[in-house]
Amino acid sequence: MKNNIVKQNIRTKYILALSVFVFTALNLTMVHLKVAKKMILAERFYGEPGAWIEIFLIALYGAIVVYYMHNPSNVAKWRKYTWGLFSVVFFSQLILGISGFHTFLMTAGKLHLPVPAMIIGGPIFRYEIGFMTILFLSTIILSGPAWCSHLCYFGALDNLLAKGKPEKGKIKHKTALKVTTMVLVVFGALIMRLSGTSYTAAAIVGGGFGIVGILVIIFVSRKKGKMVNCTSYCPVGTLINYIRFINPFRMYIDESSCTLCNVCTSHCKYDALNPEDIINKNPGINCTLCGDCITSCHAGSIKYKLFKFSPETSRNIWLFITVSLHAVFMALARL
Ligand code: SF4
Ligand code: SF4
Ligand code: SF4
């Protein structure tokens, strides 16, 4: 019986790895063949063979990541390093691009600010819905809040610096803070638009907003061991908290097995497993489905849910979608 479970586990890991490989490769191939601009970076340096080698390597990367993340006890570590790597790749390309190596830029010089709040403020200020908004909404439809656990170059820094044991107790005034910054960004962008503020001035305000986020990460998240920027400051995180329910994936606490021991509380950097969340049997609204907490529960009570699928199948489907998106973003996310 035990042998059968082990064999099935290994089979599932290989199936997942193969699925992520194929899905990532197909998506990147489509982008490569259908988009006129050279989106695959290696093509810009090594032509057509470079593009195919990069597609193969990125698909392989996705397969390896999902293979290891299939084991829930690897998730927190693998998520930290792969998400961190994504951020390093993104910012390295940006720094090289603005230092004169324009080949690294996607937009050939027309940069937008690498501040997540611009995903909300940008379209309001410009009165236009661009590619970024569509991409952002698509990821929420596909994988719910995974943007904030695997896909955002900025949140990875919050995750890296909020290390150590999270401080006990809920982040104070979290909801008031995040709703306030959200309102400030929405109305700030609208007022700047209506008052005819120049793009340069608006970019300075947006940049200032991003710098405050970095200071929050360095001085508050690091001290508290919780991702304070992502849970209490970033308006995109707030928006995702509320619209993520258009996606059917959920995380829940199994009432019949949970002993209310609260051990899992100290394994959530998103401040989503406070005692009241545990009593409610649902992680708080900040939950990004990251999965860091699963193995902290001695009773195996924290589970993924997708329609009527079993918790394991639900988790595997979520991993397949999320890691594939992460791999595709790794190849394409640059300004
Ligand atoms: S909350 Fe904001 S900074 Fe954090 S991961 Fe989400 S979008 Fe990025
Ligand atoms: S409750 Fe668990 S899955 Fe949700 S954010 Fe916290 S650690 Fe991640
Ligand atoms: S660790 Fe498990 S049993 Fe303990 S409170 Fe959390 S979900 Fe319940």
In the structure, what pLDDT confidence band is assigned to residue 334 with cuts at 50, 70 and 90? confident
Spatial distance between the Cα atoms of 123 and 144, rounded to a whole number of angstroms? 21
Contacts of residue 133, Cβ cutoff 8 Å, sequence gap at least 6: 119, 123
pLDDT of residue 71: 96
Within the chain, how many helices (H) and strands (E) appear? 13, 2
pLDDT of residue 107: 67
* Mean pLDDT confidence for 8-26: 95
116 alpha carbon – ligand 1 mean position (Å): 6
User: Relative to the CA of 273, which ligand 3 atom is closest?
Assistant: 6
Query: Residue 109: pLDDT band by 50, 70, 90 thresholds?
Result: very low
Predicted TM-score (pTM) of this structure:
0.94
pLDDT of residue 233: 96
The atom of ligand 3 lying closest to the CA of 260 is 5
**For the segment 155-204, what is each residue's pLDDT rounded down to a tens digit?**
999 999 998 888 888 999 999 999 999 999 999 999 999 999 998 899 89
Q: Grade residue 106 by pLDDT with cuts at 50, 70 and 90.
A: confident
Atom of ligand 1 nearest to the CA of 238: 1
Tally the C-alpha atoms within 13 A of residue 197's C-alpha that lie toward its C-beta.
Answer: 18
Residue 283 Ramachandran class (φ > 0 left, ψ -120 to 50 alpha, else beta) = beta
Residues with CB under 6 A from ligand 3: 253, 258-264, 278, 296-297, 299, 301-302
pLDDT at 8: 84
> CA–CA distance from 26 to each of 14, 22, 63 (Å)?
18, 6, 13
Instruction: Classify the C-alpha dihedral 91-33-145-13 as positive or negative.
Output: negative
Residue 64 pLDDT level (bands cut at 50, 70, 90): very high
Given a cut of 80, whether residue 259 has pLDDT beyond it is yes
Q: Is the CB of 325 under 6 A from ligand 2?
A: no
Q: Dump pLDDT digits (tens) for 132-147.
A: 888 899 999 999 999 9
Of all protein residues, the one whose alpha carbon is nearest to atom 3 of ligand 1 is: 155
CA distance 171 to 116: 21
What tens digit of pLDDT does each residue of 219-231 get? 999 999 999 999 9
Ligand 2 centre and the CA of 92: distance in Å? 29
Position 110 scores a pLDDT of 57
Centre of ligand 1 from the C-alpha of residue 51, in Å = 30
Written as one letter, the residue type at 23 is F
φ, ψ of residue 154 to 5 degrees: the values are -85, -45
CA–centroid distance, residue 249 to ligand 2 (Å): 13
CA-closest candidate to residue 80, choices 224, 250, 286, 291: 291
pLDDT of residue 160: 95
| Chain Cα centroid distance, residue 292 | 13
103 has a pLDDT exceeding 90: no
Bigger pLDDT: 102 vs 57: 57
Question: Whose C-alpha lies nearest to ligand 1, atom 6?
Answer: 148
Give the orientation angle of helix 75-98 with respect to helix 41-69, to 10 degrees.
170
Output the CA 69–ligand 2 centroid distance in Å: 15
User: Burial letters for 198-231: b for 16+ Cβ neighbours within 10 Å, e otherwise?
Assistant: eeeebbebbeebbeebeebbeebbbebbbbbbbb
Which residue's alpha carbon is nearest to atom 2 within ligand 2?
293
